[in-house]
Amino acid sequence: MTVRIPLSRRRFLATAAASTAISAVVPRPYLSRAADRPVITHGIQSGDVSLDSAVIWARADRPARMLAEVATTDSFKTIHRAVFVDALPESDFTANALIDGLPAGQDIFYRIRFQDLASPTIVGEPMTGRFRTAPSDQRSISFVWSGDTAGQGWGIDEARGGMRTYATMLRNRPDFFIHSGDNIYADGPILAEQKMPNGEIWKNVVLEEKAKPAETLAEFRANYKYNLLDRNLLAFNAEVPIFSQWDDHEVTNNWWPGELLTRAEHQRKKYVEKNALILAARASRAFHEYMPLRFTQAEPGRVYRKISYGPLLDVFMLDMRSYRGPNGEGQEERYGPAAYFLGPAQVAWLKRELLNSQATWKVIAADMPIGLIVVYDTDRKWGVEAIAQGDGPPRGRELEIADILSFIKRAPVRNTLWLTADVHYTAAHYYDPNKAVFQDFEPFWEFVSGPIHAGSFPQNQIDNTFGPQLVYVKAPSVPNQPPSDGLQFFGHVAIDGATQVMTVTLKDWDDRALWSTTLEPKLG
């Protein structure tokens, strides 16, 4: 849960009673510690940054109170805000705090330490992080996006540099990072060794709870802890706020609510639980405990939300997983529960927020691409996992997308684009109504990038319903190529404050610009 509790500076300092020294070193989790001091076990994070607020996160090694100070300089000479949140066993000792009342367009430094609840005079060493609040004026901004972390058994091989893409993204100094889903691979065990196609051995850092597909709450939590063993990710989290959404692998591959775990894939993975809904409930709790998301009082597990990042940009974070109908069907000619993908409530929300947006650019962050065909049951080569239903007029889930695209045209809502990941390669798609079966929409771009650190896969088949034109693609010719092949991707977006022009660049983990385009906004 995200909690905001104001705390006076006088009371905070009296309670903390700790050194104000700032450690510049990001420690490894689970290293030795003084026995009497609470420890920050998995680094610190920030997320969902707006004009005047952000969420910050940390985890303790025991029941403790997270004490956080916020300043506009790294000296912390003047404390702008101070808050506390309790980290209890019920939340696996994690704590999320909403910091508000911050100045816009400002570098913000935050310092976290934990106070032992059983011995309040004992306070741990601090750790510091930073983020930048959204600008209130027309200032240049940039961000990165990607998806898919620690997939297909490719975990942290320290001899090969660990999760290198995070270090590369950090070098770009983005204002924030959109994680487009598959933050973890709860269904993908990480074993000590994995044979590579060239015969070499990939050697993983291992964690006992990651040796099997996650079913218990503790196992789902352990997936997030595993990723936070990586030095690159720890350093990235301390410097770059995350806007996170989820997809299938936070729960299990290609799941939908109500699915019975009876596919051959489930049998191979030896699931004890018999339905996806119980897994999703536990997975959602772990996701919200370990990601710095804003808490929605009316719907505590909600993932979809709008994040306003100044006058140039609104980001619409979608949830294409929680409200969908069955994956094996969805071919209906008429719209109904079996064809839901976003679901009626989320579709209405998206339309309303797009219509009300005053930002120049409206970025729709989607879990999955619109026009790529993804098979649900790969053993039987049957069923629909994504939006695309195959060539022809809209049907099933495509009816939702057709409705949204027509609304954007008629409203009109200008300067929309879609960012996504999921398919484990990078591509640029231009959706052209003149080349589509369904034509009641304005042309738009969809950019695909990923994985961050997972197996890379060949290009998917394209569905002509909405007329996607493949402008650029980079993908392997055979499936599940290891990260060491270099086919790990992210996208970079820069918006010029003076001209409002957007530049989108697709990059690899060596920071090579593979392809780029410049988009002129429609103004007035």
| CATH number of the CATH domain containing 188 | 3.60.21.70
Whether 138 maps to a domain, the answer reads: no
Residues 263 and 307 in one domain: yes
Q: How far apart are CA 152 and CA 182, in angstroms?
A: 12
Residues 358, 215 share a domain: yes
Read off the DSSP letter of residue 395: -
- Residue 116 sits in the same domain as residue 184: no
Residues 6+ apart with CB under 8 A from 299: none
pLDDT in the model for residue 124? 97
Kindly report the length of the chain: 524
pLDDT at 24: 33
Q: Is the peptide bond before 451 cis (omega within 30 degrees of 0)?
A: yes
**What is the spatial distance between Cα 514 and Cα 509, in angstroms, rounded to a whole number?**
11
Residue 192 sits in the same domain as residue 289 = yes
Query: Of 109, 132, 155, which one is at a domain's C-terminal end?
Result: 132
Q: Give which of 228, 215, 231, 299 is closest to 57, Cα–Cα.
A: 228
Q: By the 8 A CB rule, do 440 and 402 touch?
A: yes
User: Are 115 and 253 in a shared domain?
Assistant: no
Last residue of a domain, one of 132, 158, 174: 132
What angle in degrees, to the nearest 10, is found between the helix axes of 276-290 and 217-227?
40
Shared domain check, 157 and 127: no
- Do the Cβ atoms of 47 and 293 come closer than 8 Å? yes
Instruction: Please say whether the beta carbons of 514 and 499 come within 8 A.
Output: no
Instruction: Give the dihedral of Cα atoms 362, 367, 369, 375; nearest 10 deg.
Output: -170
**CATH number reported for the structural domain that contains residue 36 in this entry:** 2.60.40.380
Give the residues of the chain that fall short of pLDDT 50. Answer: 1-33
Looking at the structure, do residues 366 and 408 belong to the same domain, yes or no? yes
DSSP run (H or E) holding 97? strand 94-99
Structural domain containing residue 236: 145-519
Asked if residue 182 is part of any domain, the answer here is yes
Residues 289, 339: one domain?
A: yes
DSSP result, 337-387 = GGG-SS-HHHHHHHHHHHHH--SSEEEEE-SS-SSB--EEETTTTEEE-SS
Of 83, 107, 132, the last residue of a domain is: 132
Tell whether 292 is covered by a domain: yes
**C-beta atoms surrounding 258 within 10 Å:** 12
Q: How many Cα neighbours within 13 Å face the side chain of 267?
A: 5
Helix (H, G, I), strand (E, B) or coil at 466: coil
* Three-state secondary structure call for residue 403: helix
Specify the pTM: 0.93
Residue 111: left if φ>0, alpha if ψ -120 to 50, beta else—which one?
beta
Whether 364 maps to a domain, the answer reads yes
Q: Can you tell me which residue has the tokens 């609040």?
A: 133
Statement to judge: residues 385 and 409 lie in one domain: yes
Q: What are phi and psi for residue 228, nearest 5 degrees?
A: -80, 10
Q: Is residue 382 part of a domain?
A: yes
Tell whether 410 is covered by a domain. Answer: yes
Please check whether residues 427 and 461 belong to one and the same domain. yes
Helices (H), 123-183: 164-171
Per-residue pLDDT tens digits for 41-70: 999 999 999 999 999 999 999 999 999 999
* Co-location of 253 and 115 in the same domain: no
Statement to judge: residues 159 and 117 lie in one domain: no
Q: pLDDT value at position 29?
A: 43
The answer to whether residue 276 sits within a structural domain is yes
Considering the domain boundaries, does residue 139 fall inside one? no
- In the chain, the number of structural domains is 2
